[in-house]
Structures are given as structure tokens and as C-alpha cells.
């Protein structure tokens, strides 16, 4: 570089500058984008109040970067608002959520009359729809968590109705849907599910887990165009919440779940995918290692542009509310007595160890759905088998949900290099927890729920995700619960408050922690050289009481230095 050009390079006070950048990048001494005048949460570095960006990368982090502001620099005045790395959702179903936004939506309420009103209105507005499809209802609305077909028959007697609940582990159907599927009192429960029944044995209108597969093949086809529209709808929503990257937890799905890879492939190939997405390829629980060549082919075919599919999702159990989460102790009945049910293992634990070892050897990350403590132990045992066979490869396995973790297994996360992937929004008292979960869990299990604090103190790596559309995709709502163990505005007592995280730890889990899981190592923290995936909040939550964290919103979101959302 010529001396005269070098002499023009600005001097920075209290700043860390970008090392080892190309001459082409460094030929212009000024930033394209400069954030200044507010606190910066770097998620791993020291305090700062200014960040400079050029060509989509962070070039300086410090306190006085005015020398980097040139004639064409866009300056963002933070005005005391917090700048932080873009949130990354480590477990979400974005296409599914986006499609459901266009269906019969029962979210954001638990009122039965409101459910029925919405179903009736949707049916009236879609007179040509062969089926009424949607979901988002809460189990707490119904006695025992089980809805009845007669309720839906009142508002839609002439067309079949299929409505998934908010956790998507059960469905509410009407009589017409049951008839079309041929489900009667004589229909046996499938191996991985349950037909809810009236006292006379007839189907009552609830289908749990694999029993939904008795009807899902009959549902109207969701087209590729529908899925692409759903993805774009979801992407806009997630960007508006400050999310810049995510891991979709169900790509190339089987076992009755929707397949969404065509939407991602189309969007990535056309350059319409602005987020960075990792797809977790689905492990068919009804098959064995013969599917490995197909999974390898999927990885190659679906690694395009901003899409990379090198993770594999293994769903090990169900959920606690319908007694299908795999537990070490039996569920209780309504009288508090132990039953013979310890939940379901969707994949044989002995076979699981071999599957995970094979996947790890092929360079795949494994992404477990592990909700009950027996499922968590099975997942960790499988990771241990892979480590013993293959060594500590950099595949970054992670376990999502973790509602119940046995104390003996807490230190194993760090020992095995397995990340705890937290869906923190669930760690609060609410009717689904207090009425449908705690009374039916062994007291020892009930006291071990969502042990975020224990995992953190043990040295486990923490990531975070929403599981949207199961629950809100808003990271700040989940972070609020991680810190407070209560939902915003609720007057419940904090849920197992010893398991709280502090705000910095919760924010780090949703940024750097998830970036690590997503193997996006040049994101998740604010430091020179990293991609400028950033979000500005409308306030600084560190400057307000913890009870106000969820009041914060995203004011602007940037990916590679380009703004993708402005409030």
C-alpha cells in the first residue's frame, strides 16, 4: 500500500480494528455503516458504544469510531438503545409456522367460545375448502387436556376439521373427520400414539402423537407454492423479531409430519432466503441405517446459497402433558398413584447409539428432541457411544427441550460436548404446567424441570430456540422467562426460581450459543471480522427492571450489514 494511502487511514480511540482483511476491502478507510451512541452487547467481548461495518463485516468495535465515518457512511444513532448480535433460533419450524399463519389460527387465546367462533368464521370465509385445517389451541382449555368432537360438530357439521394443538403433539377433530378416516371404537391405537376415547370406547375427538397419522394423509395437499409463501411470511416475522439465522428442526420429514425442503431449496436458489438457515434432516423412526445414503444425498442437494442441511433431527419422545415424554419414573394418575406408564421411546435406545455413531462419523450434527429425563439420558448415552467410537469430532450435538433432566446427567453435557438447547418460554407456571403436568409427574421429576441454572453452573454450553409455532417466536419473550421464570404480566410465583439465568447469559444463549450450534462461527458475537448480523432493540433492557425485559422489541435488523427490517 502506498504511503499516502496509508496516511489516510484513521486513528481510532479505544477501538478494536479488523485484522488481516484483504487489500480490496481495506482500500477504503471508511465504514459503510456506523452504529454509535448506545450500549453494545458483544456476547463475549468487552463493553462498547460503537460498531463499524464495511462490506458486510464488522471492522471495528469501540467507543469513539467517528474517524471511520466518511461522506457515504450511514450512521445509526443508537440513542441509548442496545445493539447486539442478531438472535439465532436453534430450534424452530419456520415454514410450518408461516403456513399456519394462513390457516385457521387458534393461537393467543385459551377461551373455548373464541376457538369455536374462529373455526366458524374461518369455515364461512372458506366455503370451498374441503377440510378446515389449522391449530394452536391449548390443552388447558379442556378437561384433562382432551377436546371433544361434539364441540366442533356444532360449528362445522358438514366438513371434516383437523386442528393441531399448540405443541403439535395432538389434534382435535370432528365427527366427519373421524368417519372419513374410518376411526371407530374398534380401531386400535397405533404403536406411537393414542386415540382419545369416550367411556364406551368410541373416539372422542382427540388424537395424540402417531394417531394423527390416521388422518394426516387425508388432508388437502399443501403445495410448494403454499410452502414458499409460508417461508417468506415466516422470514418477515422472524426478521421483525431480530432473528437473523435459524435451525429448522424438521426438513425432509416423514412419520406424518409435513415436508418443507422444497420451499427452502426454492428460496435459497432464487436468492430470496435472506436469513442463514441450517436444516435438520428428519430421521425416520420407522426405519434404520438403510436411510443413511438418502440423508447424505439430502445434505448435498440442500446445501445451496444461505441454506445448509448438515444436521439430523432425531425425535426421541413426546410431551409430558399427554404422558408420552419418556421418564425415568412412572406418571401418576388423577389420584396421585403411580401408573405403569413411563412414556414412549420413539427410537429404541440400543439402536439409537448406533445411528448416532454412524451419523457422527459422516460429519452430521445430531439434533435431539429429548423432553423427558429418560429421553435425555438416551440421547447422552448415544453421544457418548459416538464419542467413544469416533473421538471428539466437531459435530456439536445438541438436545432440545429438556423439560426434565436427571441430576446425574446434568454434568454429562459438558463432559460430552453436548449443547443444551433451551426453549425457555415453557419454564413458567401456567395452567398447562400446573393442571396437566405437575399433578401427573413423580414429585422428584416435577422438581427437575427446565434446570437451566444447573446446566449453566455445570459448564454446559447453552443455546436457545422457540419451537415456533409451538410457542412464540419472539426471543425477548423467551429471554424474559429464562431470567424471571414467569411470563410477562402474570402474577404466578416464579417457577423453580433457583434455575433462573441472568440477562447476559440468556442473551448469549440466544446469540453466540445458537451460532455455535448452527456452526456459524463468524456470527453470534460482535467482534472485528464477524458478519454484521445485528439487531437494535428499542431500549436497553439492562437499564430497566428484569420484569420489563419482554417489553423490549426489535427496532431494526441487519444481515451482512444490510437492513432487512425497520420498525
Q: Is the pLDDT of residue 196 over 60?
A: yes
**How many other C-beta atoms can be found within 10 angstroms of the C-beta atom of residue 6?**
10
| Separation CA 312–CA 253 (nearest Å) | 11
Q: What is the pLDDT of residues 110-169, one digit of tens each?
A: 999 999 999 999 999 999 999 999 998 988 899 888 899 999 999 999 999 999 998 888
Question: Of 201, 218, 235, which closes a domain?
Answer: 218
- Mean pLDDT in the chain? 93
Give DSSP secondary structure letters for 14-80.
S-EE--S--HHHHTS-S-SEEEEEEEE--SSS--EEEEEEETTEEEEEESB-GGG--TT-EEEE-TT
Residue 385: its H or E element: helix 373-390
| Grid coordinates belonging to 329 | 419414573
- For residues 418 and 286, state if they share a domain: yes
Q: Mean of the pLDDT values across residues 543-559? A: 98
At residue 283, what are phi and psi to the nearest 5 degrees?
A: -90, 115
Residue 6 belongs to a domain: no
Res 381: pLDDT: 98
Greater model confidence, 320 or 22: 320
CATH code of residue 471: 3.20.20.140
Residue 318 belongs to a domain: yes
Residue 519 burial (10 A CB sphere; 0-12, 13-18, 19+): middle
| Separation CA 468–CA 465 (nearest Å) | 8
Residue 112 belongs to a domain: no
pLDDT band (50, 70, 90) for residue 284: very high
| Grid coordinates belonging to 62 | 469501540
Res 191: pLDDT: 84
Give DSSP secondary structure letters for 132-154.
EEEEEE-GGGSGGG---HHHHHH
| Separation CA 131–CA 354 (nearest Å) | 41
- For residues 55 and 203, state if they share a domain: no
- For residues 352 and 420, state if they share a domain: yes
Instruction: Find all residues with CB under 8 Å of 497, minimum gap 6, and list them.
Output: 485
Res 27: pLDDT: 59
Question: Of 80, 102, 118, which closes a domain?
Answer: 80
| Grid coordinates belonging to 302 | 440442500
CATH code of residue 35: 2.30.40.10
Residue 386 belongs to a domain: yes
Instruction: Give the whole-number percent of the chain exceeding pLDDT 70.
Output: 95
Long-range contacts of 142-148 (CB under 8 A, 24+ apart): 142/112, 144/436, 145/321, 145/322, 145/432, 145/436, 146/196, 146/204, 146/205, 146/206, 147/172, 147/205, 147/206, 148/204, 148/205, 148/206
Instruction: Say whether 456 sits in a helix, a strand or coil.
Output: helix
Which DSSP category does 322 fall into?
T
Res 243: pLDDT: 98
Which DSSP category does 251 fall into?
E
Distance of CA 511 to the CA centre of its chain: 13
Q: What is the pLDDT of residues 464-513, one digit of tens each?
A: 999 999 999 999 999 999 999 999 999 999 999 999 999 999 999 999 99
- For residues 202 and 246, state if they share a domain: no
Res 192: pLDDT: 82
| Separation CA 82–CA 511 (nearest Å) | 14
| Separation CA 146–CA 282 (nearest Å) | 28
Question: Of 218, 237, 257, which closes a domain?
Answer: 218
Q: Which residues span the domain enclosing 141?
A: 130-218
Residue 490 belongs to a domain: yes
Quickly list H helices, 435-490. 443-446, 452-457, 475-484
Q: Is the pLDDT of residue 22 over 80?
A: no
> Which residue from 320, 315, 338, 344 is spatially nearest to 193, judged by alpha carbons?
344
Residue 439 belongs to a domain: yes
Residue 143 belongs to a domain: yes
CATH code of residue 201: 3.10.310.70
**How many other C-beta atoms can be found within 10 angstroms of the C-beta atom of residue 330?**
18
Instruction: Find all residues with CB under 8 Å of 80, minimum gap 6, and list them.
Output: 37, 38, 39, 539, 540, 543
- For residues 478 and 409, state if they share a domain: yes
Q: Is the pLDDT of residue 1 over 70?
A: no
- For residues 396 and 496, state if they share a domain: yes
Q: What angle do CA 305, 534, 563 make, to 5 degrees?
A: 70
Distance of CA 132 to the CA centre of its chain: 26
- For residues 200 and 311, state if they share a domain: no
| Separation CA 463–CA 447 (nearest Å) | 22
- For residues 229 and 309, state if they share a domain: yes
Instruction: Give the whole-number percent of the chain exceeding pLDDT 90.
Output: 88
- For residues 254 and 310, state if they share a domain: yes
- For residues 155 and 268, state if they share a domain: no
Res 504: pLDDT: 98
- For residues 384 and 332, state if they share a domain: yes
Q: What is the pLDDT of residues 250-268, one digit of tens each?
A: 999 998 888 999 999 999 9
- For residues 214 and 229, state if they share a domain: no
pTM score, two decimals? Answer: 0.88
Q: Is the pLDDT of residue 3 over 80?
A: no
Residue 188 belongs to a domain: yes
The total domain count for the chain is 3
**How many other C-beta atoms can be found within 10 angstroms of the C-beta atom of residue 225?**
11
Q: Mean of the pLDDT values across residues 73-91? A: 98
Amino acid at each position: 500500500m502506498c504511503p499516502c494511502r496509508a496516511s489516510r487511514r484513521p486513528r481510532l480511540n479505544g477501538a478494536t480494528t479488523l485484522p488481516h482483511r484483504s487489500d480490496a476491502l481495506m482500500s477504503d478507510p471508511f465504514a459503510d455503516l456506523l452504529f454509535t451512541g448506545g450500549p453494545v452487547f458483544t456476547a463475549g467481548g468487552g463493553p462498547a458504544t460503537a460498531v463499524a461495518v464495511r462490506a458486510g463485516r464488522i471492522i471495528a468495535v469501540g467507543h469513539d469510531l467517528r474517524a471511520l465515518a466518511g461522506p457515504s457512511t450511514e450512521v445509526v444513532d443508537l440513542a441509548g438503545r442496545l445493539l447486539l448480535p442478531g438472535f439465532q433460533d436453534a430450534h424452530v419450524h419456520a415454514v410450518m409456522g408461516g403456513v399456519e399463519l394462513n390457516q385457521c389460527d387458534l393461537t393467543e387465546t385459551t377461551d373455548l367460545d373464541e376457538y369455536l367462533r374462529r373455526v366458524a368464521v374461518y369455515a364461512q370465509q372458506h366455503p370451498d375448502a374441503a377440510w378446515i385445517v389449522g391449530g394452536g389451541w391449548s390443552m388447558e382449555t379442556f378437561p384433562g387436556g382432551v377436546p371433544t368432537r361434539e364441540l366442533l360438530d356444532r360449528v362445522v357439521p358438514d366438513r371434516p376439521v383437523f386442528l393441531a394443538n399448540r405443541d403439535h403433539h395432538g389434534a382435535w377433530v370432528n365427527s366427519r373427520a373421524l368417519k372419513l378416516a374410518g376411526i371407530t371404537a374398534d380401531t386400535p391405537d397405533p404403536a406411537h400414539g393414542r386415540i382419545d376415547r369416550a367411556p364406551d370406547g368410541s373416539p372422542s375427538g382427540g388424537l395424540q402423537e402417531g394417531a394423527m397419522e390416521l388422518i394426516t394423509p387425508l388432508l388437502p395437499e399443501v403445495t410448494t407454492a403454499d410452502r414458499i409463501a409460508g417461508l417468506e411470511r415466516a422470514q418477515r416475522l422472524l426478521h421483525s423479531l431480530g432473528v437473523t439465522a435459524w435451525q429448522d428442526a424438521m426438513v425432509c420429514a416423514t412419520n406424518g409430519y409435513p415436508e418443507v425442503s422444497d420451499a427452502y431449496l426454492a428460496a435459497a436458489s432464487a436468492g430470496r432466503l435472506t436469513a442463514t438457515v441450517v436444516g435438520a434432516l428428519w430421521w425416520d423412526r420407522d426405519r434404520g441405517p438403510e436411510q443413511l445414503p438418502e440423508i447424505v444425498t439430502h445434505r448435498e442437494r440442500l446445501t445451496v446459497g444461505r441454506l445448509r442441511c448438515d444436521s439430523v433431527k432425531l425425535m426421541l419422545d413426546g410431551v409430558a402433558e399427554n404422558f408420552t415424554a419418556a421418564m425415568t419414573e412412572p406418571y401418576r394418575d388423577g389420584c396421585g398413584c403411580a401408573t405403569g406408564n413411563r412414556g414412549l421411546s420413539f427410537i429404541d435406545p440400543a439402536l439409537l447409539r448406533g445411528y448416532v455413531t454412524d451419523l457422527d462419523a459422516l460429519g452430521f450434527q445430531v439434533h435431539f428432541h429429548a423432553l423427558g429425563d429418560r429421553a435425555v439420558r438416551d440421547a447422552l448415552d448415544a453421544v457418548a457411544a459416538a464419542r467413544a467410537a469416533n473421538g471428539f469430532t466437531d459435530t456439536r450435538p445438541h438436545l432440545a427441550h429438556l423439560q426434565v433432566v436427571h441430576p446425574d446427567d446434568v454434568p454429562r453435557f459438558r463432559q460430552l460436548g453436548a449443547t443444551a438447547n433451551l426453549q425457555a418460554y415453557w419454564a413458567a407456571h401456567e395452567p398447562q404446567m400446573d393442571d396437566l403436568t405437575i399433578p401427573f409427574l413423580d414429585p422428584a421429576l416435577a422438581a427437575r424441570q427446565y434446570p437451566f441454572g444447573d446446566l449453566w453452573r455445570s459448564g454446559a454450553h447453552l443455546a436457545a430456540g422457540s419451537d415456533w409455532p409451538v410457542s412464540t417466536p419472539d426471543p425477548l419473550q423467551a429471554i424474559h422467562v429464562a431470567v424471571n421464570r414467569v411470563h410477562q404480566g402474570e402474577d404466578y410465583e416464579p417457577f423453580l426460581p433457583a434455575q433462573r439465568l441472568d440477562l447476559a447469559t440468556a442473551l448469549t444463549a440466544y446469540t453466540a450459543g445458537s451460532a455455535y450450534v448452527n456452526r456459524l462461527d463468524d456470527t453470534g458475537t460482535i467482534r472485528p471480522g464477524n458478519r454484521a448480523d445485528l439487531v437494535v432493540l428499542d431500549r436497553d433492557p439492562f437499564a430497566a427492571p428484569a420484569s420489563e425485559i419482554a417489553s423490549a422489541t426489535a427496532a431494526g435488523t441487519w444481515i451482512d450489514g444490510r437492513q432487512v427490517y425497520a420498525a
